[in-house]
């Protein structure tokens, strides 16, 4: 279940700890080639199909936003052209001494395969996502999660946020 939370957090909440081999296999791109542009992005929705009990209450869940603490729901990520992720913490703070903005991970994008690799500095596993669609105001990413119940598709929608 923690893996699912990290995949959700991948997007606004993006995780990075990719080994050197993975970074070498996917070339870094500039902002102009990536879907992110110079915007900040917040997770608007994240769903899993088929449903999976991610909060361990005995009932299958489809909405993965239940895994994101309320204080992180207004956080927004900016994907810089040097491959770093800059997170703006929003108005709801998780900690009293929380920085307003900080570097939180790394990313790369392969425009040929429309593949994104994200890794947050929070110690989670790197996440690979496929770009399903992108516009100046919305990005949709698709990832897969393997559980004991089978393969699940995670669909995460990012919305552009003015900071």
Look at residue 20 in the predicted model and tell me its pLDDT: 31
Task: Collapse the DSSP code of 28 into the 3-class scheme (helix H, G, I; strand E, B; otherwise coil) and give the result.
Answer: coil
Give the C-alpha separation, 43 to 64, whole Å.
Answer: 11
How far from chain centre, in Å, is Cα 154? 11
pLDDT in tens, 70-105: 999 999 999 999 999 999 998 888 888 888 999 999
What is the rounded distance in angstroms from the CA atom of residue 4 to the CA atom of residue 27? 26
Going from the N-terminus, what domains does the chain have, and what CATH number goes with each?
2-161 (2.40.128)
Q: Please compute the mean of the pLDDT values over residues 59-67 and round it to a whole number.
A: 96
pLDDT in tens, 38-49: 899 999 999 999
Closest by CA position to 92, among listed 65, 74, 69, 67: 74
Q: Dihedral of CA 3/114/78/71: which sign?
A: negative
pLDDT at 24: 40
Looking at residue 46, what is its pLDDT?
97
Mean pLDDT of 125-148: 95
């Amino acid at each position: 279940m923690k893996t699912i939370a990290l995949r959700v957090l991948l997007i606004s909440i993006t995780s990075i700890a990719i080994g050197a081999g993975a970074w070498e296999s996917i070339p870094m791109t500039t902002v102009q080639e990536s879907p992110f542009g110079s915007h900040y992005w917040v997770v608007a929705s994240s769903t899993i199909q088929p449903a999976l009990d991610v909060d361990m209450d005995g009932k299958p869940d489809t909405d993965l936003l239940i895994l994101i603490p309320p204080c992180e729901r207004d956080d927004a990520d900016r994907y810089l052209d040097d491959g770093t992720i800059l997170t703006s913490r929003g108005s709801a703070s998780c900690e009293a001494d929380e920085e307003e903005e900080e570097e939180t991970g790394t990313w790369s994008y392969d425009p040929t395969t429309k593949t994104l690799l994200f890794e947050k500095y929070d110690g989670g596993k790197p996440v690979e996502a496929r770009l399903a669609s992108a516009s100046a105001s919305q990005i949709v990413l698709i990832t897969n999660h393997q559980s004991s119940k089978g393969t699940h598709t995670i669909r995460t929608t990012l919305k552009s946020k003015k900071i």
